[in-house]
Amino acid sequence: MSVAAAMTAPGETPAIEPFPLRGRSLFAEGSRLSDLANRFGTPLYVYSRAALESAWRAFDDALAGVPHQVCFAVKANSNLGLLDALARLGSGFDIVSGGELERVLAAGGDPARVIFSGVGKSRDEMRMGLEAGIRSFNVESPSELARLAEVAHEAGRVAPVALRVNPDVDPKTHPYIATGLESSKFGIPIAQARDLYARGAGMPSLRMAGVGCHIGSQITSLEPFRDALARVVALIDELAGDGIEITEVDVGGGLGIRYRDETPPSPAEYAAVVRDALGGRPVTVFLEPGRSVCGNAGVLLARVEYIKDNGGHRFAIVDAAMNDFIRPALYGGWSRIEPCERRDGEGRAVYTVAGPVCESGDFLGRDRELDIREGDFVALRSAGAYGFVMSSNYNSRPRAAEVMVDGDRVHLVRRRERASELHALESRLP
Give catalytic residue positions.
358
What is the distance in angstroms between the CA of the first residue and the CA of the last residue of the chain? 58
Handedness of CA 49, 51, 55, 58 (dihedral sign): positive
Give alpha helix (H) positions in 161-204: 193-201
Q: Rounded to the nearest whole angstrom, what is the least distance from the CB of residue 219 to ligand LLP in the complex?
A: 7
- Spatial separation of the C-alpha atoms in residues 208 and 54, rounded to whole Å: 34
Q: Is 93 in the site for ligand LLP (CB under 6 A)?
A: no
When asked if residue 285 is in the footprint of ligand LLP (CB under 6 A), the reply is no
Identified binder of ligand LLP from the candidate list 171, 200, 290, 384, rule CB under 6 A: 290
The helix/strand/coil state of 377 is strand
Q: By CB under 6 A, what part of segment 339-398 binds ligand LLP?
A: 385-386
Instruction: Pick between residue 277 and residue 293 the one whose CB is nearest to ligand LLP.
Output: 293
Neighbour tally for 195: CB within 10 Å: 12
Pairing assessment for the beta strands 136-139 and 114-116 based on DSSP bridges? parallel
Residues, the chain, total? 430
In angstroms, what is the minimal distance from the CB of 327 to ligand LLP? 5
Least Å distance, CB 166 to ligand LLP, is 11
Stretch that binds ligand LLP, among 44-52, 214-222, 263-271, 398-406 (CB under 6 A): 214-222
Q: Is 218 in the site for ligand LLP (CB under 6 A)?
A: yes
Judged by CB under 6 A, the residue of 43, 81, 264, 289 near ligand LLP is 289
Q: Residues of 27-44 as b/e, b for ≥16 C-beta within 10 angstroms?
A: bbbebbbbebbeebebbb
Closer to ligand LLP by Cβ: residue 75 or 397: 75
Among 327, 381, 397, 399, binds ligand LLP (CB under 6 A): 327
Residue 284: Cβ-neighbour burial (10 angstroms; 0-12, 13-18, 19+): middle
Is residue 253 at the binding interface for ligand LLP, with CB under 6 A as the rule? yes
Question: Tell me, what amino acid is at 11?
Answer: G
Interaction of residue 171 with ligand LLP, rule CB under 6 A: no
Cβ distance to ligand LLP smaller for residue 263 or 310: 263
Which DSSP symbol is given to 205?
T
* Residue 210 in contact with ligand LLP, rule: CB under 6 A: no
Does residue number 73 form part of the binding site for ligand LLP (CB under 6 A)? yes
Instruction: Check if the beta carbon of residue 145 is closer than 8 Å to that of residue 138.
Output: no
CA separation for the pair 4, 278 (Å, rounded): 35
Q: Name which of 35 and 170 has its Cβ closer to ligand LLP.
A: 170
The 10 Å CB-count burial string (b at 16+, else e) for 294-332 is bbbbbbbbbbbeebeeeeeeeebbbbbbbbbbbbbbebe
- Beta-bridged to residue 255, according to DSSP, are 219
Q: Please identify which residue in 177, 201, 268, 422 interacts with ligand LLP, judged by CB under 6 A.
A: 177
Least distance from ligand LLP to the Cβ atom of residue 255, Å: 6
Answer yes or no whether residue 135 interacts with ligand LLP by CB under 6 A.
Answer: no
- Our CB check for ligand LLP shows the closer of 324 and 376 to be 324
268 closest CA partner among 49, 14, 73, 5: 14
Q: In whole angstroms, how close is the CB of 289 to ligand LLP at the nearest point?
A: 4
Nearest 5°: the CA angle 123, 129, 134 is 150
Residue 217 binds ligand LLP, judged by CB under 6 A:
yes
Residues between 1 and 60 that touch ligand LLP (CB under 6 A): none
Segment interacting with ligand LLP, rule: CB under 6 A, options 250-258, 310-318, 396-404, 422-430: 250-258
Tell me the site size for ligand LLP, rule CB under 6 A: 23
Of 46, 110, 99, 43, the closest CA to residue 75 belongs to 99
200 vs 333, beta carbon nearer ligand LLP: 333
Regarding 264 and contact with ligand LLP (CB under 6 A), the answer is no
Inter-helix orientation angle 98-106/123-132, to 10°: 30
Residue 426's alpha-carbon distances to 126, 296, 399, 420, 423, in angstroms, are 30, 37, 18, 11, 5
How far apart are CB 61 and ligand LLP at their closest, in Å?
A: 17
Give the 3-state secondary structure of residue 212. strand
Interface residues toward ligand LLP, by CB under 6 A: 73, 75-76, 94, 117, 177, 179, 214, 217-218, 252-255, 288-292, 327, 331, 385-386
